[in-house]
Structure 1
């Protein structure tokens, strides 16, 4: 039995490898924009959970008998979900909007094993530093935050600009180890089964 990550996210992979697991990487190919468009009136936590579930559902049939994890993260800032900025210009705009503020990072998870599944969203409060314009520009130019929910990382350069988090740190990086552990226990599995 293997643990399959339905994501190409280097951060999610890093969390698992640092925790002793060498996951099978099988990125899902889903239309995230269409899923979000179909959920315009849904609560933010439901949106990220639905994205995670779509990814896990796309990959699970290829891995019968394994545990498949789908995930998706978005930042809830001033009541609006923020995804990946994708460009340095958009990253600068985001950081100008979130610098000095507190927001909530929502990380949706869908863990599937056989005909059982756990779908849950982890919530972590993030307080951003009042970063200088020069640092915002340099961070955007580094490329690091372009493919990250909320335009930041906790574990690399972005760590300089996060004043505080309240909640699960691994969730902020992209995958909640406590949530995955609880799901494995629900399936009657031990975490150590997946250690290398």
Structure 2
């Protein structure tokens, strides 16, 4: 059963299983259609430097790319950036880079900026950016090695080399921000938009 009341199915412009699970668990059955875009090229061409602006720009690019092919559908695009001060992080290319990222983040507080955009018929109809502050506990090289050994290949699928819903929770002392923002989809403002647009049954 779904709470979605749009004329056409909701579309998620992402291959993220975490984002799809958030929508599914909220009663919003959706179609998943990843956007075929070059995120790093779009980021570089944008000339943007602020992490929240980059997250919003990429979420918009994803939503609009899929919306162009899915006329009439509401398309959700999302993106997340991780910033430690002025330094931004991308998904690690492999285990060695994952270890380097974790050692750089250890004992410090970084920001996760999560953006969500809804597009319909090639136009943005909603956008929002939320931030969560993540305080990682001090970690030795042995701690990082043990974590990477246990976490396996999953670490290279997430920016910062951790997934808070999994073993990544062991890396942190404190978190300031909501669960949905950390998982990469600010769900509460998205649901509020859908309710205001009379697209939900609840």
- For normalisation by structure 1, the TM-score amounts to 0.89
Taking a change above 3 Å as real, the CA distance of residues 191 and 101 of structure 1, as seen in their structure-2 partners, is farther
Q: Distance in 2 between matches of 1:170 and 1:86?
A: 25
* 2:83 maps to 1:76: yes
Deviations 1:101-124 (A, max 9, x none): 111101121112455511221111
SS at match of 2:165: coil
* 2:112 maps to 1:85: no
Corresponding residue number in structure 2 for 1:137:
145
Q: Which runs of 5+ in 1 are unaligned?
A: none
Number of residue-to-residue matches in the alignment: 192
* Contact residue 48 and residue 54 of structure 2 kept, 8 A: no
SS at match of 1:68: strand
Deviations 1:69-89 (A, max 9, x none): 111111111222212113110
* 2:173 maps to 1:173: no
SS at match of 1:28: coil
CA RMSD of aligned residues (A): 1.8
Q: Which runs of 5+ in 2 are unaligned?
A: 1-7
Corresponding residue number in structure 2 for 1:19:
26
Taking a change above 3 Å as real, the CA distance of residues 186 and 81 of structure 1, as seen in their structure-2 partners, is farther
* Contact residue 3 and residue 68 of structure 1 kept, 8 A: yes
SS at match of 2:198: coil
Counterpart selection for 1:188 from 174, 186, 198: 198
SS at match of 1:143: helix
* 2:104 maps to 1:58: no
- For normalisation by structure 2, the TM-score amounts to 0.87
Kindly state the Cα deviation for residue 191 of structure 1 after the two structures are TM-superposed.
6.2
